[in-house]
Structure 1
Amino acid sequence: MTTATLSPVGLAALWRLLSLGLTPPSAETLAEVEALAEGLDELGGFPEVIDVLDALTRSTTEELAAQFFELFGGTVQVAPYEGSYELDPIRQGRQMADVSAFYRAFGAEPAGPAAERPDHAGCELEFLSFLELRRLAAVENDEDVELLDDIGASFLTDHAGRWLPTFFAGVTEGGTRAPFYRALAVLGARAIEDELTRRGIEPTPLPRRPSRLSVEADSFECGAADSSPRRYRR
């Protein structure tokens, strides 16, 4: 498989699309997903985007909401939280604390309907989008980007790159009755694989766990429509 190359803006849009796609669907969020997918389709490099667009246009918000709950709510088929893939409860807590520390390093105050915890897939993907936009701003201002590159590599190595491939594989397998989420997962798996390859990162993967009850919500949220990655800022 050829590794796709996107500009920082394109890559930020890709992570943003995936983040929004993993939020409880609403007319607002789905409209932004559609706009992002159309823009990425024009850029080329990820033909999987076409399947996302096709599945989206064939589905109603109500249908997607039911599919979302079947996959990620109640007795979840596929847990959307990094900590759910870690068997050791002590390590679960450390992982969540470490993810939060990455966000706090940028004064992050993400908000929206996507996540009940900072280790939600939508939050981690939103953070990857934010880092791309911060890197673009640094380049435009002739600032050093080495630190941002190191942070992105560390976040992929220690967190997103360890479990998102497993998560997306689970959604692909479990989404036979949810074509939009299945298409989104295929795109997400390709995006993560390409990014790890591009950076030369080989994280230790976290295995999939059996179906389990969805965790209760806490105060950390992200992925709201119109809440672009710029919400992560000092």
Structure 2
Amino acid sequence: MTSGIKEGKKVGQNGMQNPTNEKAVKISPKDAPAVDRALCRSKLYLLVSWGYLYPEDEEFLDYLQSGEFVEDGKTALEGLKKELKGIGGEEALVRLDALAGQFDAIEAWISSEGENWNLQDLRDEHRRVFSNVIALDCPPYETLFGNDHVFGQSYVMGDIAGFYSAFGLQLSPDIHERLDHLSVELEFMHYLAYKESYAILHDGAEKLKTVIEAEKKFVKEHIGRWVPLFSGMLIRKADYGFYKILADFTSNWMAFDIAFLGVAPQPYSETDYRPATYSNPEGQSFECGAQDQGNELSLLMSEVGADAFLDKESGASGQSGNA
């Protein structure tokens, strides 16, 4: 299945980005719950990430229609709930129950409608909700939230790029999206959670701490701020069908992981959503980011000024990452 980010050539089955070449390892009883929690969170982040990508081929639709999407999701939810051990408190438990209900809703949608869909039907539904250009009533791009000036966008884009580069990641050439697209950011969290499970078994306490801190920081400063508002906008825009259920799922999943990680993002509100504008010397203005320009990292970073931002940061600190 198409994957949005990559780490060199270390690509695993179904597009998963494996931190290293894995070897069989015996998991101690002490570590097993934490490993299971990390792997289950990683899987759920990956599932919701796949859901937002434009369906280039039939693979995702086949995954839905076969029942494997729901089966994999429910298995991950059950494993997470089993090993939760009070982390995240009552909020986490409530959200997990809601997520189970949303997998039931996806299963019901497949039985009643989705099983008869072909690839064009899914593409048409994606276009209905997200359109062929950036839909400003529910844009799946972080930099369109909370940044009422183009230079605010460049700062945020540079920070996102810094997170990716700190872990040796870059956009895959197989995906036609920006690095601030929701699917890409969610897949980054999938990668971090997967890397957390690996660090528990192989890397020691210091590297594990680095990965967990990166997860918390990325949720607190990025997806935990804009995804709750985006989910509400998407619920209204989609109104029905698969993407309405996916929006409900995303809202509950984000609330769960915020509680699980114990972070307190400052979420954007409706009044914070203002597509960025730029005023030239004559006082004219235009909307920024209304047309997707493809997926080349250099083009995107140049487009929003993030390359200049990173050059400046690199010159000041000698570092390119934030984690």
Aligned partner of 1:40 in structure 2 is 73
Alpha-carbon offset, residue 142 of structure 1: 5.2
Equivalent residue letter for 2:126:
F
Q: Decide whether the 8 Å contact of 1:114 with 1:123 is kept in 2.
A: no
What is the CA–CA distance in structure 2 between the aligned matches of 1:135 and 1:21, rounded to whole Å?
Answer: 23
Alpha-carbon offset, residue 31 of structure 1: 3.3
Aligned partner of 2:105 in structure 1 is 51
What is the CA–CA distance in structure 1 between the aligned matches of 2:251 and 2:166, rounded to whole Å?
Answer: 27
Note the residue ranges of structure 2 that are not aligned, 5 or more in a row. Answer: 1-33, 79-95, 276-286, 298-323
1:118 pairs with one of 156, 159, 179: 179
- Normalised by the size of structure 1, how large is the TM-score? 0.82
Superposed CA offset, 1:161-188 (max 9, x none): 11011111111111114x1011111111
Note the residue ranges of structure 1 that are not aligned, 5 or more in a row. Answer: 221-234
Q: Decide whether the 8 Å contact of 2:225 with 2:268 is kept in 1.
A: yes
SS in 2 for 1:7: helix
SS in 1 for 2:204: coil
Equivalent residue letter for 1:84:
L
What is the CA–CA distance in structure 2 between the aligned matches of 1:17 and 1:214, rounded to whole Å?
Answer: 26
Q: Taking every aligned residue pair, what percent have the same amino acid on both sides?
A: 22
Q: Does 1:92 align with 2:153?
A: yes
Residues 110, 118 of structure 1: CA spacing in aligned structure 2 closer, same or farther, 3 A cutoff?
same
Larger-Rg structure: 2
Aligned partner of 2:130 in structure 1 is 72
What is the CA–CA distance in structure 2 between the aligned matches of 1:56 and 1:128, rounded to whole Å?
Answer: 27
Equivalent residue letter for 1:124:
E
Equivalent residue letter for 1:102:
F
The structure, 1 or 2, with the larger RCO (C-alpha pairs under 8 Å, 6+ apart) is: 1
- Normalised by the size of structure 2, how large is the TM-score? 0.61
What is the CA–CA distance in structure 1 between the aligned matches of 2:134 and 2:46, rounded to whole Å?
Answer: 27
Aligned partner of 2:220 in structure 1 is 157
What is the CA–CA distance in structure 1 between the aligned matches of 2:201 and 2:105, rounded to whole Å?
Answer: 34
Superposed CA offset, 1:173-226 (max 9, x none): 11114x101111111110110111122212112234479844332314xxxxxx
Name the stretch that deviates more: 92-101 or 50-59: 50-59
Superposed CA offset, 1:25-65 (max 9, x none): 23112334552431222343431122223334522232221
Aligned partner of 1:204 in structure 2 is 266
Q: Does 1:81 align with 2:141?
A: yes
Q: Decide whether the 8 Å contact of 2:178 with 2:295 is kept in 1.
A: yes
2:242 pairs with one of 176, 180, 183: 180
Q: Does 1:143 align with 2:204?
A: yes
2:193 pairs with one of 107, 132, 146: 132
SS in 1 for 2:213: helix
